[in-house]
Structure 1
Amino acid sequence: MTTNQRTAKKSKHIGYWVVTGLLLFGMVAGGIAQISHVRVNVDGMIRLGYPLYTMRLLGIWKLAGAVVLIIPGYGLVKEWAYAGFFFLLTGAVMSHIASGDAFFQWVAPLTFAILTVISWYLRPANRRLASTTDTPSASFQATEPQSI
């Protein structure tokens, strides 16, 4: 591996942890605020027309997703966490837009949705699903028909 390749790999690794750290900070802070029914979150949910009981559920899922992203292994569950964050955050953006909210009211979920995609893209190999195309499974290999 050349010096440039090592530098690029190190930069990507640092970028992953910076972006993922920001994402995790937002999900943990938001999750705690939702579980605790912080007034600004309650007001926002009421303004958007969502029932308040969904706040605790969303908060618990945010905290669970943050834990999954930080621990090693569990590639498939990490994929679910990234997908969950992406759907949650883009749904929040669309809810704010549909409710007629100003840009400053939906820029935070948009920013965290972008951080989610960047973190997913930059994740190191040990935090990815094993590729199914690396070694074909015996059940998917073509075989000659057996004559009877």
Structure 2
Amino acid sequence: MAKRNKIIYWIATVWLALGMVSTGIVQLIGMKEEVDEISVKLGYPAYFLVIIGVWKLLGVVAVLIPKFPLLKEWAYAGFFFVMTGAVFSHLAVGDEPLEYFGPTLLLSLTILSWYFRPADRRLAV
């Protein structure tokens, strides 16, 4: 059981990291399509994407490095808040269901990674 949980954790975490890094970089470099078509449509200013992009990259570092369980909890919480915010933002503007796929996938990976994280990556209670 422990081996299965570790495999699930690492698969979810690697995919989560790849998704957050790729979207974070897109947000940081300010790709025109991302800024104009998505963020403005959702009602967010362009500078907001830079903030989110930086926090996504820092969150990936926090989740991947060993130790620092409190920092990891904050990173997972941040990912959860950003992805639920993205889903609800798309809902608010009446986007097509396809627009929900990315945020919903990253939200699912966040929950899986958090749930299956090994004991040495958890807060001691």
- Tell me if both proteins adopt one fold, taking TM over 0.5 as the criterion: yes
The higher-RCO structure (CA 8 Å, 6+ apart) is 2
Of the candidates 99, 105, 111, which is equivalent to residue 105 of structure 1?
99
Aligned to 2:60: 66
User: Which deviations, in whole Å up to 9, do the C-alpha atoms of 1:19-75 show, x marking residues without a partner?
Assistant: 000000000001000000112311200111100010110000000000000000110
Task: Give the alignment's TM-score, normalised by structure 2.
Answer: 0.97
Superposed counterparts of 1:134-145, under 5 Å = none
The yes-or-no answer on 1:38 pairing with 2:31 is yes
User: Secondary structure of 1:63's match?
Assistant: helix
Task: Give the alignment's TM-score, normalised by structure 1.
Answer: 0.82
Whole-Å Cα distance in 1 between the matches of residues 79 and 55 of structure 2?
Answer: 9
Kindly name which structure, 1 or 2, has the bigger radius of gyration based on alpha carbons. 1
Letter in 2 for 1:28: V
Unmatched runs of 5 consecutive residues or more in structure 2:
none
Aligned to 1:115: 109
Identity %: 48
Whole-Å Cα distance in 1 between the matches of residues 42 and 82 of structure 2?
Answer: 14
By how many angstroms is 1:114 displaced? 1.1
Runs of 4+ in 1 over 2 A off after TM superposition: none
User: Secondary structure of 1:115's match?
Assistant: helix
Q: Counting helix residues as a fraction of each chain, which structure ranks higher?
A: 2
- How many residues align structurally? 124
